[in-house]
């Protein structure tokens, strides 16, 4: 996640035309909070402050409010009069779908996952939610073991690594347990007014009710949750030291409730492990407890040498340069770590060896693990590197598919981390 930490005071200084107004804006918009100039702000798009600065410089407060009102009117007027032709083009059937999607998006923007409550409650039972947490913790355990067993990592660095990949590293995904209780969720949403007035009255009244939720514990566990933007399945927050996994991404092919360990760890487990590795990537080693404080000092040269290893040395089936392939270093580490977690998991569950996925009976569990990983990397514009580069870094892949010693997918030298 590309986020930058700053403060309200710093935002004031970076937007001269809005200087001394940000605290005022925040107090007016969120009166339930006690805002101070030193309060931390996380910016997920670095260019947004420059763009906002230009906007504040070119417009007065009155003009800005008028402009925002006009944008709101332009986006929603068609819903008020019930005529999608005012904004969209297409056949009657296409516009009907557009109307439904727009209504769904509008409701979800305020009520979060409540529109998917029925599906999520049925799909993510207590057992399934427990299993998701187990996969996440299994991967953490394997990273901890890797740190402990590594001979090249200094003890002072190992201490920091253990601290970052510990209980403080959390999974930000499904809403809290109250969301899955019909009784509890009814209580959480009871403060919202019934939509019986005009569109704008409903819009304003619901927004006011939602604003009050911002200061409640339920906002973090429930109201801030969404299915995701459809572009990013998982990411890592350097400030919060947390792995985000979009709720909407917890569907096939990334996660199937009825799938085998090999498929689950090969897809979802690898994505979790890859995001988790960001805790100690080139940027992660500069963050400690949310503050910019470089901590990988001893043995830094060995660290740099490993992360800059040429992943495409000795040839590869896919095309592309080494620089592009180097971005997959953490994917390769995540794949290897998730594989180790998967092998440990099947040792605990003795029945897993007799289970096979329908249509894949001829493949071994290990083969399905790597196939599941590559399946989720498929894309129209992919050159194959996202699949081929990480799997060829795993000696287990070569064993699983019985690659010859001279095969492109079985290089003599690989790029280990631990």
* 404 DSSP 8-state letter: -
253 preceded by a cis bond (ω within 30 of 0): yes
CATH fold, domain 126-174+229-400, is Collagenase (Catalytic Domain) (3.40.390)
Q: What number of other Cβ atoms are within 10 A of residue 361's Cβ?
A: 7
Pick from 9, 1, 12: which is nearest to 46 by CA? Answer: 1
Asked if residue 345 has pLDDT above 70, the reply is: yes
Q: What's the alpha-carbon Rg for the chain, to the nearest Å?
A: 25
pLDDT, mean over the chain: 87
The whole-number pLDDT of residue 158 equals 96
- Tell me if 102 sits within 8 A of 86, measured CB to CB: no
pLDDT above 90: residue 17: no
pLDDT digits over 110-161, tens only? 788 888 999 999 999 999 999 999 999 999 999 999 999 999 999 999 999 9
Per-residue pLDDT tens over the stretch 292-338: 899 999 999 999 999 999 887 665 555 555 545 568 999 999 999 99
Consecutive H or E run containing 40: strand 40-43
What pTM was estimated for this model as a whole? 0.87
Euclidean distance between CA atoms 201 and 17, whole angstroms: 32
CB 337 within 8 A of CB 141: no
pLDDT score for 111: 81
For residue 50, the surrounding DSSP H or E stretch is helix 48-58
pLDDT, position 29? 80
Task: Read off the DSSP letter of residue 403.
Answer: -
Query: What phi and psi values does residue 362 have, to the nearest 5 degrees?
Result: -80, -10
Instruction: Give dist(CA 344, CA 139) in Å, integer.
Output: 10
Question: Which of the pair, 362 or 79, is modelled with greater confidence?
Answer: 362
Given the DSSP bridges, would you call strands 40-43 and 234-237 parallel, antiparallel or unpaired?
A: unpaired
The DSSP symbol for 247 reads: G
pLDDT at residue 40 tops 90: no
Per-domain residue ranges of the chain? 85-123+175-224, 126-174+229-400
Question: Which stretch of DSSP H or E encloses residue 96?
Answer: helix 92-111
Average of per-residue pLDDT across 333-348: 95
Q: Which of 50, 39, 30 is nearest to 5 (CA)?
A: 39
């Amino acid at each position: 996640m590309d986020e930058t930490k700053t403060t309200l005071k710093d935002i004031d200084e970076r937007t001269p035309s809005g200087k001394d107004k940000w605290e005022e804006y925040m107090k007016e918009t969120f009166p339930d909070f006690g805002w101070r100039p030193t309060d931390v702000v996380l910016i997920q798009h670095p260019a947004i402050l420059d763009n906002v600065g230009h906007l504040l410089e070119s417009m007065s407060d009155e003009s800005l409010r008028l402009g925002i009102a006009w944008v709101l009117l332009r986006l929603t007027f068609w819903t008020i009069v019930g005529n999608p032709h005012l904004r969209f083009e297409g056949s009657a059937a296409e516009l009907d779908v557009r109307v439904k999607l727009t209504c769904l998006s509008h409701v979800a923007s305020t009520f979060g996952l409540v529109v998917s409550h029925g599906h999520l409650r049925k799909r993510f039972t207590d057992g399934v939610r427990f299993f998701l947490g187990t996969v996440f913790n299994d991967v953490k355990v394997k990273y901890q073991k890797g740190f402990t067993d590594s001979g090249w990592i200094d003890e002072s660095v190992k201490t920091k690594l253990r601290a970052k990949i510990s209980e403080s590293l959390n999974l930000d995904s499904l809403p809290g347990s109250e969301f899955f209780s019909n009784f509890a969720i009814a209580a959480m949403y009871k403060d919202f007014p019934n939509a019986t007035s005009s569109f704008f009255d409903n819009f304003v009244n619901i927004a006011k009710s939602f604003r009050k939720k911002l200061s409640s514990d339920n906002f973090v566990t429930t109201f801030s949750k969404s299915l995701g933007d459809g572009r990013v399945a998982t990411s890592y927050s350097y400030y919060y030291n947390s792995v985000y996994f979009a709720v909407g991404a917890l569907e096939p092919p990334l996660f199937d409730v009825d799938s085998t360990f090999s498929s689950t760890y090969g897809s979802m487990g690898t994505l979790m492990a890859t995001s988790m590795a960001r805790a100690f990537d080139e940027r992660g080693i500069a963050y400690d407890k949310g503050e910019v404080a470089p901590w990988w000092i001893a043995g830094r040269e060995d660290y740099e040498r490993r992360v800059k290893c040429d992943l495409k040395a000795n040839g590869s089936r896919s095309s592309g340069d080494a620089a592009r392939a180097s971005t997959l270093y953490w994917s390769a580490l995540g794949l290897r770590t998730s594989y180790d977690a998967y092998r440990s998991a099947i040792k605990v569950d003795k029945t897993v060896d007799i289970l096979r996925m329908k249509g894949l009976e001829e493949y071994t569990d290990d083969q399905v693990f790597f196939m599941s990983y590559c399946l989720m990397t498929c894309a129209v514009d992919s050159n194959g590197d996202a699949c081929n580069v990480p799997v060829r870094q795993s000696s287990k892949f070569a064993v699983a598919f019985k690659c010859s010693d001279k095969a492109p997918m079985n290089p003599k030298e690989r790029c280990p981390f631990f």
